[in-house]
Amino acid sequence: MKKKFFVTATDTDAGKTYVSVGLLKAAHRAGLRSLGLKPIAAGAELVNGKLCNDDALLIQDASSVLLPYEQVNPMVLEAPMAPHIAAAKENRLLSVSRIEGYLKGALLTLHDIAIVEGAGGWRVPINDRELLSDLAKCLNFPVVLVVNMKLGCINHALLTAEAIRHDGLTIAGWIANGGQDTMMCYEENLLTLTKMLPAPLLGTLLWHNCVSDAEVEFDHIFSKL
């Protein structure tokens, strides 16, 4: 049976791509056909004459199901800023219906697991009326929440989880990313989140883990999904 997940986070630069890539590679090691998509990406440079986002390229490379870049990242914006602002500066219009159409086309490709990575946090606007969370609602995939372990993460994580559940979506689990060497009272914060978040803790990750240790941890996380 196909599995599909939407990866979001407590804020930007929280580790969504790190987690998405890790899960895609873990699926491949498990012998599954993995497909990664990054619907919207803001912040891109020319690569062989076309705009490409670094995170989207990582997701494309980590997927065992090969798709052209345009399907992996159908909405790429040059400026590294909020998507609705970047789109306005480029005189482009982002909409949930259009993006959903692109994703449904890509998801027709044979796969066993699909990972769709969001942009920023849960309530990122894509135009004056719609949020990226509206796209997640249309897809109706279980959500994997990445928590950036730093001061303030408890508030950010609880509010994000509340919003996800308010939107009628299931939280498949959450992942604690980083913080072991930089956050005061890391273990106490982790324990508080474990008690208060309405979803299972899938695993704890280091920002700069060695490859072999990271693979073991991601294999462990993947086995829980």
Q: pLDDT digit of tens for each residue in the chain (225 aa)?
A: 689 999 999 999 999 999 999 999 999 999 999 999 999 999 999 999 999 999 999 999 999 999 999 999 999 999 999 999 999 999 999 999 999 999 999 999 999 999 999 999 999 999 999 999 999 999 999 999 999 999 999 999 999 999 999 999 999 999 999 999 999 999 999 999 999 999 999 999 986 556 667 899 999 999 999
Catalytic, out of 38, 50, 89, 195? 38
Q: Exposed, middle or buried, 48 (CB in 10 Å: 0-12/13-18/19+)?
A: exposed
The pTM for the full model equals: 0.96
Region at 15 (left for phi over 0; alpha for psi -120 to 50; beta for the rest): left
Number of domains in the chain: 1
Residues 6 or more apart from 75 whose CB is under 8 A from it? Answer: 39, 40, 41, 83, 87, 94, 99, 102
* Closest to 27 in 3D by CA, of 49, 50, 5: 5
Residues near 124 by beta carbon (within 8 Å), at least 6 away in sequence: 82, 83, 118, 131, 132, 133
Contacts of 12 (CB under 8 A, 6+ apart): 119, 120, 121
Question: From the centroid of its chain, how far is CA 163?
Answer: 16
Can you give the CATH number for the domain in which 87 is found? Answer: 3.40.50.300
Q: For position 211, what pLDDT does the model report?
A: 64
> What is the pLDDT, as a whole number, of residue 30?
96
Instruction: Decide: residue 129, CB within 10 A, 0-12 exposed, 13-18 middle, 19+ buried.
Output: exposed
Domain that holds residue 189: 3-224
User: Residue 46: its pLDDT value, please?
Assistant: 92
pLDDT at position 2? 87
Q: Residues 122, 133: contact at Cβ < 8 Å?
A: yes
Dihedral, CA of residue 12, residue 211, residue 60 and residue 225, to nearest 10? -70
Cα 136 from Cα 143, distance rounded (Å)? 9
As a whole number of angstroms, the distance between CA 43 and CA 83 comes to: 9
Is residue 137 flagged as an active site residue?
A: no
